């Protein structure tokens, strides 16, 4: 079993280049099912989740080829099967994103119930509500979900999402692009990854307006063509390195970052005492001028609110900020599994329902901990950077699902982090 060993280090310094976003590239790759022609996707991060998506697409008959480093060619001349393999799909929740494109392209899709991080119930009712509204018949069996369009194909519809789900918005968008007539998604998710997908689909010939607002309008077209696209930078990876500078009281220049996409993280770090400057080179996160970081309160929300994916890394930082902070998680109902791990390292965090109270300013101690999910794994590494002694992190496959060149990037900034395989 592979583990990370993290030793206490001084302030992290230097620069880091942010990769293409995991949460953008997966739906982009799935959208490659929609056209016969080739799609070129650039800035594709080398991640385990991307590998899984490649395998899923290949199993459906899509050609997926790395034409040069970080550049993928995705081409679906014909769909060989519209049934996705159980083993593959159960590895990653985002594999469910093939459902919309498959349904649009072939009129039916059969996909096993998705796996992924266990950070809550994570139902898919809103995805299915969308498919049904577009006229598909949806059958839910024990292990799989099958959707079939009517004899006239999918028909545009007005769809109101009870919650602005990212995945449901993406799946409905990719299903509706080839539907007859107009689809309107109300209370749609507004994440930058939604905008990136809409931009890509529009390059393919789709007619989507309003992505990035809570009303998305999709006029169905007959056919989509190939397109070339560069994946938006990963705002969650960027946020993680912002926190790496903050927690170690270092100074990091972050390149390939969209400042607007990390606004809530910037605002909260400033409240704690971190200086953040945007220059032509990138974003400077300067935490070496102020040894006394102070507490703050955060509440996770759909974009443009504070991202749930940065909640656990931010909490690791708050254990080092003086005073009492509160963190309220509103997006997922079970996303405090890292609290027990941080407490094992000497943090003082109490939870009640979806609220955590962090009594900060404590010195952390290295311990044996678990990466309970992808972002919680990053939180453990951040805590390990400032904890006395060595922190041993198990179940790091979670981290490798979502962070490109994790060890290399951290080492280049001065971190003492090693992977051991036993």
Which residues are known catalytic residues?
A: 117
Tokens 């981290």: give the residue: 399
| Interface residue with ligand UD1, options 6, 16, 18, 26 (CB under 6 A) | 26
Residues making up the chain, counted from first to last:
422
Task: Specify whether the CB–CB gap between 50 and 22 falls below 8 A.
Answer: yes
Q: Which is nearer to ligand UD1, 123 or 389 (CB)?
A: 123
- Give me the least distance between CB of 286 and ligand UD1, in Å please: 28
Query: Binding segment for ligand UD1 among 117-125, 243-251, 256-264, 353-361 (CB under 6 A)?
Result: 117-125
DSSP string, 263-302: HHHHHHHHHHT-EEEE-SS-EEEE-SS-S--B--EEEB-S
- Are 324 and 359 in contact, with CB atoms under 8 Å apart? yes
The DSSP secondary-structure symbol of 177 reads T
Q: Name the residue number minimizing CB distance to ligand UD1.
A: 167
What x/- string results for residues 398 through 417 when contact with ligand UD1 is judged by CB under 6 A? Answer: --------------------
Does 151 contact ligand UD1 by CB under 6 A?
no
Instruction: Pick the stretch among 101-109, 116-124, 147-155, 337-345 that binds ligand UD1 (CB under 6 A).
Output: 116-124
Among 94, 134, 145, 157, the residue binding ligand UD1 under the rule CB under 6 A is 94
With CB under 6 A as the rule, give the number of residues binding ligand UD1. Answer: 23
Q: Residue 421 forms beta bridges with which residues?
A: 2
Contact by Cβ (8 Å): 213, 192: no
Q: Supply the minimum distance, in Å, between the C-beta of residue 187 and ligand UD1.
A: 12
| Eight-state DSSP code of residue 119 | S
CA–CA separation, 96 and 84 (whole Å): 9
167 forms part of the interface with ligand UD1 (CB under 6 A): yes
CB of 239 to ligand UD1, least distance (A): 12
Selected binder of ligand UD1 within 43, 146, 309, 404 (CB under 6 A): 309
268 binds ligand UD1 (CB under 6 A): no
Q: Does 31 bind ligand UD1 (CB under 6 A)?
A: no
- Interface region with ligand UD1, contact rule CB under 6 A, candidates 105-113, 119-127, 247-255, 278-286: 119-127
Q: Out of 19, 76, 95, 165, which residue is the one contacting ligand UD1 (CB under 6 A)?
A: 165
The CA-to-CA distance between both ends of the chain, in Å, stands at 5
Return the CA Rg of the chain.
21
Pairing mode, strands 349-352 and 355-360: antiparallel
Q: Is 408 helix (H, G, I), strand (E, B) or coil?
A: helix
**Within a 10 A sphere around the Cβ of 276, how many other Cβ atoms?**
20
What number of other Cβ atoms are within 10 A of residue 116's Cβ?
18
> Is residue 308 near ligand UD1 by the rule CB under 6 A?
yes
Question: At which residue do the structure tokens 């400033």 appear?
Answer: 270
Q: 383: how many CB neighbours lie within 10 A of its CB? A: 32
Tokens of 301: 């929300």
Specify the stretch interacting with ligand UD1 by CB under 6 A; choose among 65-73, 135-143, 159-167, 274-282.
159-167
**Choice from 89, 126, 179, 254 touching ligand UD1 (CB under 6 A):** 126
Is the CA virtual torsion 396, 401, 402, 405 positive or negative? positive
Least spacing, CB of residue 418 vs ligand UD1, in Å: 27
Neighbour tally for 163: CB within 10 Å? 12
The two counts, helices (H) then strands (E), for the chain are 14, 23
Contact segment (CB under 6 A) with ligand UD1 among 71-79, 166-174, 314-322, 408-416 equals 166-174
Instruction: Identify residues 320-359 at the interface with ligand UD1 (CB under 6 A).
Output: 331-332
Instruction: Kindly state the smallest distance separating residue 97's Cβ from ligand UD1, in Å.
Output: 7
Q: Give the one residue of 19, 23, 62, 95 binding ligand UD1; rule: CB under 6 A.
A: 23
**Contact residues: ligand UD1, CB under 6 A:** 23, 26, 93-94, 120-127, 163, 165-168, 189, 193, 308-309, 331-332
């Amino acid at each position: 079993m592979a583990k990370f060993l993290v030793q206490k280090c001084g302030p992290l310094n230097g620069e880091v280049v942010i990769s293409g976003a995991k949460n953008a590239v997966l739906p982009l790759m799935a959208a490659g099912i929609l056209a016969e022609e080739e799609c070129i996707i650039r800035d594709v991060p080398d991640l385990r989740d991307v590998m899984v998506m490649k395998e899923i697409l290949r199993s459906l008959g899509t050609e997926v080829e790395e034409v040069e480093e970080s550049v993928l060619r995705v081409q679906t001349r014909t769909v060989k099967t519209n049934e996705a393999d159980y083993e593959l799909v159960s590895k990653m929740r985002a594999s469910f994103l093939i459902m919309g494109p498959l349904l649009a392209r072939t009129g039916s899709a059969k996909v096993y119930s998705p796996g992924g991080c266990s950070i809550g119930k994570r139902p898919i009712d809103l995805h299915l509500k969308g498919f049904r509204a577009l006229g598909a018949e949806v059958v839910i069996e024990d292990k799989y979900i099958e959707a079939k369009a009517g004899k006239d194909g999918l028909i545009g519809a007005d769809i109101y999402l009870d919650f602005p789900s990212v995945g449901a918005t993406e799946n409905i968008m990719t299903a509706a692009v080839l539907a007859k007539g107009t689809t309107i998604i109300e209370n749609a998710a507004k994440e930058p990854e939604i905008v990136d997908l809409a931009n890509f689909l529009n390059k393919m010939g789709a007619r989507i307006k309003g992505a990035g607002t809570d009303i998305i309008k999709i006029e169905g077209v007959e056919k989509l063509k190939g397109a070339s696209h560069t994946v938006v930078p990963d705002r969650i990876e960027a946020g993680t390195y912002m926190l790496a500078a903050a927690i170690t009281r270092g100074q990091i220049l972050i390149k390939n970052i969209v400042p607007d996409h990390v606004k809530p993280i910037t605002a909260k770090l400033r409240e704690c005492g971190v200086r953040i400057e945007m220059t032509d080179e990138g974003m400077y996160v300067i935490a070496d001028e102020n040894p006394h970081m102070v507490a703050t309160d955060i509440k996770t929300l759909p974009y443009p609110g504070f991202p749930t994916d940065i909640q656990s890394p931010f909490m690791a930082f708050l254990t080092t900020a003086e005073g009492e902070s509160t963190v309220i998680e509103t997006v997922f109902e079970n996303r405090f599994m890292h609290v027990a791990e941080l407490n094992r390292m000497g943090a003082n965090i109490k939870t009640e329902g979806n609220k955590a109270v962090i009594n900060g300013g404590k010195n952390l101690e290295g311990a044996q901990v678990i990466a309970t999910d992808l972002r919680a794994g990053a939180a453990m590494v951040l805590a390990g950077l400032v904890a006395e002694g060595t922190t041993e992190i198990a179940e790091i496959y979670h981290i490798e699902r979502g962070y490109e060149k994790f060890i290399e990037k951290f080492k280049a900034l001065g971190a003492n982090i090693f992977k051991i395989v036993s």
